[in-house]
Amino acid sequence: MKKAAVRAVSVLAYWLGLDALFYFLNRRAKRIVTFHNVIPDDLWVPFPNLVSNKASEFAKIVGEVGRRFKFSADVLDPDTATLTFDDGYLNQYEVAGRMLMERGIPAVVFAAGDALAAKEPDGALVVDQLMHWLGLVPEDVIGAGGRLRHWMQTVRPRYAGDGKSRGRNALRELDSRYPMKDIWAKLPAEYLRLRLTGIPREKLDDLRNHGWTIGWHSRTHYPLSSLGDDEIRSEIAPPDGFKGVVFSYPYGERLSVDERCVRIARESGYPCAVSNESGRNPLTGRFFLPRMSLHSDRYRLHFRLSGLEHFLKTGRLLPVV
């Protein structure tokens, strides 16, 4: 459905009580909400943060989810909603984390090894560096078609086909066309610190002390289905301090996760693993738990969170795992 039509239907559903009906019908389905970065409004940069939120939007989402559910860090508890963050960048502690800790809300951070280790933007996940290059490079460097099209048709396929270097060769190619140092120079230092450096160990411990779970999100955040079995094991294997916690697949959609990834995650000793898909697919289960992203608009949020949107698209209630 077009955006305007989706909102019109969601407004109607809200005021007719259809959302309330589907909250009841889906009362046994766990709600796991997925976030990436939460950026202060005055530092917002659109394209590199396509799956991220402004801080004001994030606050609205948390408030609306809290109207329907209690929060917990237990991704298997169907009586609560769980807020999750992928990657492990500093904004997840200093912006989202502080906001939630002030309210006594625990959550889950799924940390990628390379993101945690990043002390400077050049050490950030390759995919984030690629997105910043594409979002901030001059238009004449990209050529016809626009940034998103260039990402989907050129940059991401090149990245996903570069398993040997985990995408670093693709990044070097872009750097030769327009230097990454010139990209970083376009951005405020505080944005770079919050968005592209990792959460220090002591701050991860602070989150744990507030009831948060720190899960694992692979070593380099590379699309796992592009790798061989031994390479997948190397990416998934939990390091010290992450054994026995929940795993989140990088990207977490069917294109990047196949049956081998699910099998290896199960064999690696995780109690469960989360996806980034909201509905049922052949992999749905304890090792491919559904997650959903939410819009900050109240009506569209409840349209999805209630499960009504999923029902209208598939004719099914939300999956119960």
pLDDT digits (tens, 9 = 90+) for 3-55: 899 999 999 999 999 999 999 999 999 999 999 999 999 999 999 999 999 99
Q: What is the pTM of this model?
A: 0.96
pLDDT tens string 249-293: 999 998 899 999 999 999 999 999 999 998 778 899 999 999 999
Domains detected in the chain: 30-118+198-296 (3.20.20.370), 123-188 (no CATH)
**Which H, E and C letters describe the chain, residue by residue?**
CCHHHHHHHHHHHHHHCHHHHHHHHCCCCCEEEEECCEECHHHCCCHHHCCCEEHHHHHHHHHHHHHHCEECCCCCCCCEEEEEEEECECHHHHHHHHHHHHCCCCCEEEECHHHHHCCCHHHCCHHHHHHHHHHHCCHHHHCCCCHHHHHHHHHHHHHHCCCCCCCHHHHHHHHHHCCHHHHHCCCCHHHHHHHHCECCHHHHHHHHHCCCEEEECCCCCCCHHHCCHHHHHHHHCCCCCCCCCCEECCCCCCCCCCHHHHHHHHHCCCCCEECCCCCCCCCCECCEECCECCCCCHHHHHHHHCCHHHHHHHCCCCCCC
